[in-house]
Structure formats: structure tokens, C-alpha cells
A = this chain, B = another copy of it.
Amino acid sequence: MKIKVVKDILGANEQIAERNRQLLDSKGVLAVNLMSSPGAGKTSLILETIKRLKGKTRLGIIEGDVSSSLDAEVIGKEGVPVVQINTGGGCHLDANMTHSALGNMPLQDIELLLIENVGNLICPAEFALGEHKKVLISSIPEGDDKPFKYPSMFHKADVVLINKIDLLPYLKFDTDAFSQAIRGINERAEIFQISCATGQGIEKWVSWLLTQMSRRQS
């Protein structure tokens, strides 16, 4: 891990994020920042989204990982543009990394950019990338107490996807209590229950995405 003297890094990040947003707007691209704990289903959600939107919507994907390009390789097989960011130990994407990735993305050819952040329920919440919407995936096996323990991420989400609902029969998880806990922190977030394993609920998520895109174009 490299140590840097860091001063008002969030302020600087916001400025770069704003420039990213202007670039995306000028190209008519809706950008969504997907955040979650490790293994909650970000890559699976991207694959399910591609499956449903391919041929209808021009997608691009940015893959953020501490290390490896495993997910980018899997997604690359779907025939959509993918840019990998490796943070090299860093625990979140930032606007500068995103700016570099945007330079390698054919923005004129896409309408919807899904950005998979690093698997982490804390730091990614604090760093804007230039996205239009923040989406949090929280999965059943993580437990229904997560909004209390990681409030900032739940507070900032425009959408909370409750993933892996196919595992509900095998785990203690109170979906009503979980939704109430989210509401205590965030009144505006849309909440969808989904399973990337069975496909349940994915249509609602995709409809939400399409609605956001049409709102921006109108």
C-alpha cells in the first residue's frame, strides 16, 4: 500500500466527478454506480442485465477490482465494451480512475454505463464517480442488520436491490424489518427484491433502468 499525503481528497474527487458527469451527459450516457459487499452479486446482476437489454440498449461496463480481471473476462464474452480498473489495493473506485476508464470506453456507441465498484460496503459510498445513480446490492446471506451497521451506503443509495432471495428458505432474514431499517435511513430509495440465480425480480430492475434512460432523453 502506497502512502500519500492526502488533503481534501473528497473535494478534489467531487470536481473530477462533475467533469465526468458533464462528459457522460454530452454523450447521452446514463451512468450507474453498482456497489455492494464482496460476493453480493454485482457481476451476476450485470450479466442478467446484459441478457435482457442486449440488442435493445447499447451497454458499456466498467469493472472495478482490487486485483484480477476475472469479471471483465466473463463480461467481455457477452460482446459489450468492458474496461477494467484495478485499484492495486485501493478499497474503492474514485473519479480519477473513472475518468481514465471513460477515455477507453467508446462513449459515442453506448447509452447505459454500468460501473461495478470494488466490493466494499463502506468507502465507495464516499467517492462520487460522476454517476447519475447509485445502486446498492445487499444480499440475504449478509443478514438483515446491515443498514444499522453500514448506514452511509444505505443512506446514499437511489436503489437498494435485495439479492439472493432464492436463499430465503434457508436463512434467517426478515425482509420487512430490513426494508423498514432502510426507510429509517433513506426515504427515497427504490427497493427491489431480486434473485440473479433464478431471474426473479430482474424485470423490475431493468424497467427501472429503462425509465431512468427515457427520463434523461426527454
Chain A stretch 113-148: residues in CB contact (< 8 A) with chain B = 118-123, 126, 139, 141-143, 145-146, 148
Q: Assess whether A51 is interfacial by the CB under 8 Å rule.
A: no
A178 vs B87: C-alpha distance when bound (angstroms): 23
The interface centre, meaning the residue of A5, A38, A65, A118 with most chain B CB atoms within 10 A of its CB, is: A38
- Of A6-14, A99-107, A209-217, the stretch lying at the interface with chain B is A6-14
CB-CB under 8 A from A119, the residues of chain B are 37, 121, 149-150
Residue of chain B at shortest CB distance from A145: B70
How many monomers of this protein are in the complex?
Answer: 2
Q: A8 vs B37: C-alpha distance in the bound complex, in angstroms?
A: 28
B3 touches A123 (CB 8 A): no
CA distance A148 to B152 in the complex (A): 28
Query: Which of B1, B37, B67, B171 is the one whose CB lies under 8 Å from A149?
Result: B67
Query: Of the candidates B10, B89, B151, which one forms a contact with A152 in the assembled complex, judged by CB atoms under 8 Å apart?
Result: B89
Asked if A148 and B67 make an inter-chain contact with CB atoms under 8 angstroms apart, the answer reads yes
Q: Which residues of B contact A166 (CB under 8 A)?
A: 170
Do the beta carbons of B164 and A167 come within 8 Å of each other?
no
Say whether A5 contacts B5, CB under 8 Å.
yes
A22 at the interface (CB under 8 A from B): no
Q: Which of A39, A67, A91 has the most CB of B within 10 A?
A: A39
A216 to B65, CA, bound (A): 39
Q: Is A66 an interface residue (CB 8 A)?
A: yes
Give chain B residues whose Cβ lies under 8 Å from the Cβ of A65: 149
A90, closest chain B residue (CB): B122
List residues of chain A with CB under 8 Å of any chain B CB. 1, 3-10, 37-39, 65-68, 70, 89, 91, 118-123, 126, 139, 141-143, 145-146, 148-152, 164, 166-167, 170-171
Contacts A68-B148, A141-B164 known; 17 new A-B pairs at CB < 8 A: A1-B10, A5-B6, A37-B37, A37-B119, A37-B142, A38-B121, A39-B139, A39-B146, A66-B122, A66-B150, A67-B149, A70-B145, A89-B152, A91-B91, A120-B120, A141-B167, A167-B170
